[in-house]
Structure 1
Amino acid sequence: MASTNRPADPLAKGTFATAKQGFKDLFVWDQRVVVRNDYGEEHCEWQRPEPLKNPFTLFAQLRLRDWAYFSCGFLAWTADAFDFHALSIQTTKLAAYYNQSNTNITTAITLTLLLRSVGAAAFGLCGDKFGRKYPMILNMVILGLLQVATIYAATFQQFLAVRSLFGLFMGGVYGNAISMALENCPTNARGLMSGILQQGYSFGYVLAACANLGVGGTTKSWKIVFWIGAGFSIAIGFMRVLFPESKQFIEAKKAGKNGKTPGAFWVESKAMLKKEWRMCVYCIILMTWFNFYSHTSQDSYTTFMKEQKHLSSAGATRASILMKTGACVGGTILGYTSQWFGRRRTIICSALISGMLIPAWILPTTERGLSASGFMIQFFVQGAWGVIPIHLSELSPPAFRSSFVGITYQLGNMISSPSAQIVNAAAEGIMITTSKGTKSKAYGPVMGVATAIIVIGIAVTTALGPEKKGRHFEEAGPIGTNVVPVKDIESGSVRSEKDGAKAIELTDETGNGKTNVEKV
């Protein structure tokens, strides 16, 4: 059936041409989409966004097995966030336990973020090649064991060493969790599910903050929170044992198995990097901004409320919980809205509104005021973040959606890894007078200025980037098994190009087929 959509100019080629086209497309309501026919011929057309469906109707489209995959991905990402924030919200406890400054303790955060990209590459490629199941099981169990090892670190040097290793395995969670959760969702439900999925990060923070509040403020109570994190991570690993490999992954693997050639994995990987290197660089830059965005606005916020606003440990924790509750709500709503409003427009509007809320975020002096302003700014910070899982998945080369999403996200994390140290060091170098007339480190002004710069960076980078909303990435098989059909105009036969090799199907008059494979 012929399409009734208006034809559009083809996708621009080159960095500046793509940026120009992407910026102009922001102001066109219809979405530019690439359509491919059965012969591999592609063209662009303008497609009008579908009206938003009732979220409960979208939920009903997911079968029980789909919910199992999504729930496991969500909980794995939640456990990752719990494990990370178990450290960041207990900075002052750990500083007292190891007799170190807050800045020195945040060195552990930096080391964790630095090594996450290594884990993302290793577990992401394993997930794209062998499936999501067993890499995730291994990943989550080892994460739990490393939480236990952290508890028994006797010296600060041992603590840093364990947290470095912890970061390596933590990096493998995001790519496999996101790809497994979203590839099993219907296309029109992915905006909503992406928003919910990303809020596993905020939900993990809320759980860690609740655990911290429950164990009290004594110095050694940080160990109890780490025990809870260890049990949580290991439980998710065992949960993943209970159901099979992703159905889409198995079907795609079977479909591409017959065309597989020796060394196809590396040939396809090199071909992808040659073709998609600009997209890789763009997504790394975008994820760098986004990781600065979250870490700058969150990691030192509890310390800011305690030291500059004179809140008690319990009051600061309560305000943090409400702040991240706003994040969960905002990420879900705006991720859902992006299905209609567009991925990039949602990100840009959310980021700019969060920038406007910065004064209201850092000026209040009471627990209620800080809770309300924290709720609102994180509504939009995580509102922008809620679009990221599906946006990255749609931008990634389809066969590499686990490794690409994980690596670009974690490389952005690695580049932004000194964010907590930068904020703490800058704040500790500037003294201000608080509302009670005492001197305090300038956490609020430093976080406000840094967040404003980051908001502008996110808005500009997103405005000049591409968007591929509605892409059917789940149809691609594992790396090395993907065949793209291309029509031979002269003979009318169909040939398949795969990983730099050509598989040409020659059909005689009787209909018997024969396939020859030759290197290009």
Structure 2
Amino acid sequence: MSPFNSFIAGLPRLPPRESRHRSSNPFTLLASLTAMQWAFFFSGWFAWVCDAVDFFAVSLSTARLATQFAKPVGTVTLSITLTLLFRPLGAFIFGILSDRYGRKWPLIGNLLLIAAFSLGTGFVQTFSAFLALRSMFGITMGGIWGLAVSMSLENMPVEARGLFSGFLQLGYPVGYLIIAAVNLNPYIQKQQHWRVLFYTGAGMSLFAAVIRLLLPESAYFKERQQCRAELEADGAITKSATMTTLRELGKTLRVHWARCVWSVIFMSAFNFYSHGSQDLYPTYVQIDKGLSPHLATVTTIIGNCGAIAGCTVGGFVSQFLGRRLTIIVMAVFCCAMLPLWLLPTSFAGLAAGAFFVQAGVQGAYGVVPVYLSEISPVAFRATWPGVAYQLGNMVASASAQIEATAGAKIKDPTTGKPAYGKVAAILIAVSAVVLIACCLVGAEDHGAHFENGRAAFENDAGLDIVEDPERQLSKVVSNGDQKDQVKVYHKEHV
């Protein structure tokens, strides 16, 4: 097949009719979950909420932090950049721990460290100490997304994963909404009381750790551990699980390197797309548009209501349109709403623009958890999506400084004020174009049964990518229950 024909054959298209039919009724999907599946999902979702609460505490208090430390806004946003820069390290560390040791204890440890660093941020007295803590915090924040996604979605019915992918991702705007609502308190809005925002984040992260402590290990991971234990008892495995995990990681990088590079480009565009619309938005509407801090916070809250709606719709619609087509549609919608986001001068107009732009941004983002999970090397489903996500964050880490620096230099010709909004709109539009291009050339494994794949500590697990619902195990044996099929499959691949 010629390169052109290969490109045409790989373009986004509707998923199979059977897959769309199984996902047609959201209420049926919601009712299909067991209590334990709901509990696993809530634990991962709430951990992601906590991640957002502390991250956006900096965005909402940028002006007060600048006054506190006697630094310009552009310098204070260096803390956001450092947090994003260190997140890939955390994604790798905690992702490997999760893929090797399970979904429970790595997430608990991660949340406890987040609580500690968040609490410490509330006590800092110097700008250098603030930057150091935010850097360390970036490492711990980096682990949350991959661990939350792998635990939540692997315990979901396949036909419900699109909808719950959107629900999971909306944890981020919900976290923004929570901390913005806390910030509305007149007491907290006083210059010296910005620290309360970080105390709030610490308390929530500690609570999230307690929730995960009360739940068992992921059902998928317990099954894989039992399978390995049986093979070890039979003498079929001699190498340690840790050494096997590291060896399989090397295989993954050698075999799937092209998909890894693509995923980093894809998530870099996504993070410029998202952070460009969020990081300096409160500053934009205050300085460019003259809104009060209170109205700026209210506008942020309205925008995040749009993000919540977008995540829900985007995740569910992806079951019908496919993952890539949904991202493309949402990106086009977002760009169409940019004039409404940029041109109004009234509170009502700006609030409407914030709502619809965030609906487009997060409507596309709501597809990301399930999309990356489906195209991920199965054994490293906590590591691979998390590292791709956070490397994209690292590449986009300068977005806040780009907006702050360029906005301060490019003045509005009529008012002479910094043009933060114009710079942000350009950044969003360019990122959306790159994102659409990535979707046109990327892979898609809609409805993949990745819960049937091998774990990282099993032989040749690093080679697996589940490409369709029937590929795993059905080729191995035609009779017997799933557990027996798994055992036969793995014994043949030792």
Q: Common fold, TM-score beyond 0.5? A: yes
Q: In 2, distance between residues paired with 1:323 and 1:342? A: 26
Residue number in structure 1 paired with 2:36: 65
Q: CA deviation at 1:28?
A: 4.4
Residues in 2 aligned to 1:131 and 1:23: alpha-carbon distance in whole angstroms = 40
Question: 1:305 aligns to what?
Answer: 285
**Alignment deviations for residues 326-364 of structure 1 (CA, whole Å, 9 cap, x no partner):** 000111011101011100000011101111111111111
What is the CA distance between 1:408 and its match in structure 2?
A: 0.6
Matching residue within 456, 465, 472 for 2:449: 472
4+ runs deviating over 3 angstroms: 19-31, 46-49, 482-487, 494-498
Task: Confirm or deny that 1:222 pairs with 2:198.
Answer: no
**Contact 2:165–2:315 (Cα < 8 Å) also in 1:** yes
* Aligned twin of 1:5: none
Q: 2:468: which partner in 1?
A: none
Shift of 1:261: 3.8
Q: Map 1:93-492 to 2 at 5 A.
A: 93-214=64-185, 215-257=187-229, 258=231, 259-262=236-239, 263-433=243-413, 438-482=415-459
Q: Equivalents in 1 of 2:94, 2:5: separation in Å?
A: 35
What TM-score comes out, normalization by structure 1 length? 0.85
Separation in 2, partners of 1:270, 1:151: 40
1:147, 1:230 within 8 Å by CA — same for their partners in 2?
A: yes
Higher alpha-carbon deviation: 252-261 or 138-147: 252-261
- Residues 1:260 and 1:78: Cα distance change in structure 2 (over 3 Å): farther
Structure 2 CA distance, aligned partners of 1:248 and 1:27?
Answer: 30
1: CA distance between counterparts of 2:325 and 2:238?
Answer: 42
Q: Alpha-carbon deviation of 1:27?
A: 5.9
| 3-state SS of 1:418 partner | helix
Deviation per CA, 1:487-512: give whole Å up to 9, x if none. Answer: 7xxxxxx99897xxxx669xxxxxxx
- What is the CA deviation profile of residues 271-316 of structure 1, one whole-angstrom value per residue up to 9, with x for unaligned ones? 1111111111111111000011110111111100000100000001
Is 1:24 aligned to residue 1 of structure 2? no
My pick for the range that moved more, 256-265 or 357-366, is: 256-265
Larger radius of gyration: 1
Contact 2:111 2:209 in 1 (8 A): yes
TM-score, normalization by structure 2: 0.90
- The residue identity in structure 1 corresponding to 2:201 is G
Q: Which residue matches 2:479? A: none
Q: What is the total number of aligned residue pairs between the two structures? A: 465
- How far residue 52 of structure 1 moved from its aligned partner, in angstroms, is 3.8
Residue aligned with 1:217, SS: coil
Q: Alignment partner of 2:412: what SS?
A: strand
CA distance in 2, matches of 1:444, 1:477: 47
Q: CA deviation at 1:54?
A: 1.7
Deviation of residue 232 (structure 1)?
A: 0.4
| Aligned twin of 1:7 | none
Shift of 1:150: 0.9
How far off its partner does 1:114 sit? 0.3
Q: Which has the higher helix share?
A: 2
Amino acid at match of 1:280: C
Residue pair 1:52, 1:337 contacting (<8 A) in 2 also: no
Amino acid corresponding to residue 224 of structure 2 in structure 1? A
Offset at 1:218?
1.4
- Alpha-carbon shift at residue 23 of structure 1 (Å): 4.6
| Alignment match, 1:40 | none
- Structure 1 residues 452-461 or 50-59, which shifts more? 50-59
Instruction: State the SS of the aligned residue for 2:381.
Output: helix
Alpha carbons of structure 1 residues 23 and 89: separation in structure 2 relative to 1, 3 Å: farther
Output the CA distance in 1 between the equivalents of 2:115 and 2:418.
35
One-letter amino acid of the structure 1 residue matched with residue 214 of structure 2: L
Give runs of aligned pairs for residues 85-96 of structure 1, distance below 5 A. 85-96=56-67
Give deviations 1:62-84, integer Å, cap 9, x for gaps.
10000000001000000001110
Q: Deviations over 1:147-187 (max 9, x none)?
A: 11111211101110111001011101111011111111100
Structure 2 gap segments, 5+ residues each: 462-472, 477-485
Counterpart-to-counterpart distance in 1, 2:209 and 2:405: 37
- How many percent of aligned residue pairs carry the same amino acid? 40
**Structure 1 residue 22: deviation in Å?**
5.6
1:20–1:315 distance in 2 versus 1, CA, 3 Å: farther
